[in-house]
Structure 1
Amino acid sequence: MPTAKRPPKPPPKPYHHGNLRETLLVAADAVLAERGAQGLTLRDVAKAAGVSHAAPYHHFASLNDLLAAVAERAFGLLAQALEQAATEPDTAERMLKINDAYVACALARPAQFRLMFGPLLARKHDYPEFKVAAERAFGVVLTAACAHDPERGPELALTGWSLAHGLSNLLIDGALEGLPIPVGPGEGLARQLAVRALGVTGAAA
């Protein structure tokens, strides 16, 4: 009896992804957290996302375009955390809570924090949405500082931002470990230093 021929296989369907851009951003976030930005490639992100090596180019012309979008999202998360802290009615405590939130965000997502303030930030004018997100975050700090002290607001904002940012980097790098002075937990230290540097005493300081 002749063997029945199997029907020919249908041609493969073209790959389709419901939300490729979002999937790539989530994958890039994961790869970034694992490896850092150095050495990260679009091929790495495509592999993590489970898509072809060419797929990222449908949404991002280059790796920097992708990283700018990741940094934009990270700035958005930072701004949200700062805005939540800024709901505190007492203006002094508001500044301290914003400082606490900044350091907490940096420590929770150190690779993203480094990316946000890496070389791409100097080119933020090339990425308008990234620029808007970065300015939104600092705007929360500036608004809170001016509400506390309209005359010295800009100076307080710059001082507070510099303090929180510098301390975040020191904590991420482990630079405070083993110092010949007592150093408390990161967030408690952030508040202690902010009270001294900004000359404010919050309701819960």
Structure 2
Amino acid sequence: MTSRRTYHHGDLRQSVLTAALDVIATDGPGALSLRDLARRAGVSHAAPAHHFKDRTGLLTAIAAQGYDLLADALADAPDLRERGVRYVRFALAHPAHFQVMFQPGLYRADDPGLLAAKERASAELRAGITSLTDADGPATATGPATVTGPATATGPAPDPRTAPDPRTAGIAAWSLAHGFATLLLTHNVAGAVGDHDPGDYFRSLADLMFRTGPA
């Protein structure tokens, strides 16, 4: 049987990432230690630093990988509601990535690899938001849009009594998808969701929250 200490050099980076994700999923990002991860991966204590330099570098790599995985999950979703469903499923399938991605204080937010991955995910999300706008005019929200971060306002806040523009509807939908995913991961809605498929449950929430016209 192959020993854990015989990882090929090319496997080391992913081996350390995998060990880190296990720790985060169980104990949170604060429990990460490069020395402990080296022990888990069966390599010398200095080996992880060769790929990540330090703990912040490791968390940056995890965030970048998470945004790439999110972009893959969202690709070719047929509409906004399904992007929300895929967002929720991504969070459930990759809880450790999800924990890290939205805590920019944990990683180097200006890292080029991270920025590229984040932009790729954002492009997939923006592609969904465009369907909020009818060819004839204002947005009609028929499902959730998702965005990767807060909007930067250049003027007064939108008036919620008027028809939502795509950007505002996108933020609202992101809030719904991200909030529901977080509640699922923290087991705060386990009783309500029960045995229902989380994706189907989210579809019901989206239909309830984003129906702007008569049924």
Within 2, Cα distance between the matches of 1:23 and 1:122?
20
Number of aligned residue pairs = 178
Q: Which residue of 2 aligns with 1:137?
A: 121
- What displacement does 1:62 show? 1.0
Specify every segment of 5 or more residues in structure 2 that has no aligned partner in the other structure, as ranges: 1-6, 139-164
Q: 1:167 aligns with which of 177, 180, 185?
A: 180
- What displacement does 1:149 show? 1.1
Q: Over aligned residue pairs, what C-alpha RMSD do you find? A: 2.8
Q: 2:56 aligns with which of 41, 58, 64?
A: 64
Task: Tell whether the 8 Å contact from 1:124 to 1:131 is kept in structure 2 after alignment.
Answer: yes
Within 1, Cα distance between the matches of 2:74 and 2:114?
17
Report the CA distance shift for 1:197/1:141 in structure 2 as closer, same or farther (over 3 A).
Answer: farther
Task: Tell whether the 8 Å contact from 1:68 to 1:120 is kept in structure 2 after alignment.
Answer: no
Within 2, Cα distance between the matches of 1:103 and 1:81?
10
Q: Which residue of 1 aligns with 2:156?
A: none
Q: Larger Rg: 1 or 2?
A: 1
Within 2, Cα distance between the matches of 1:59 and 1:122?
15
Report the CA distance shift for 1:16/1:80 in structure 2 as closer, same or farther (over 3 A).
Answer: closer
Within 2, Cα distance between the matches of 1:100 and 1:63?
32
- What displacement does 1:183 show? 9.6
Report Cα offsets for 1:106-165 as digits up to 9, x if no partner.
Answer: 11222221111124478512x222122223223222221113316522222212111100
Q: Which amino acid is 2:51 matched to?
A: H
SS of structure 1 residue aligned to 2:30: coil
Report Cα offsets for 1:40-97 as digits up to 9, x if no partner.
Answer: 1111211122110011111222101011101211111111011142xx2xxxxx1111
Q: Which amino acid is 2:89 matched to?
A: A
**For 1:161-200, what aligned pairs fall within 5 Å after superposition?**
161-178=174-191, 184-199=196-211
**For 1:34-113, what aligned pairs fall within 5 Å after superposition?**
34-85=26-77, 88=78, 94-113=79-98
SS of structure 2 residue aligned to 1:18: helix
Report the CA distance shift for 1:162/1:53 in structure 2 as closer, same or farther (over 3 A).
Answer: same
Q: Which amino acid is 2:97 matched to?
A: Q
TM-score by length of 1: 0.75
Task: Tell whether the 8 Å contact from 2:63 to 2:97 is kept in structure 1 after alignment.
Answer: yes
Flag as ranges the 4+ runs of structure 1 deviating above 6 A. Answer: none
Report the CA distance shift for 1:182/1:47 in structure 2 as closer, same or farther (over 3 A).
Answer: closer
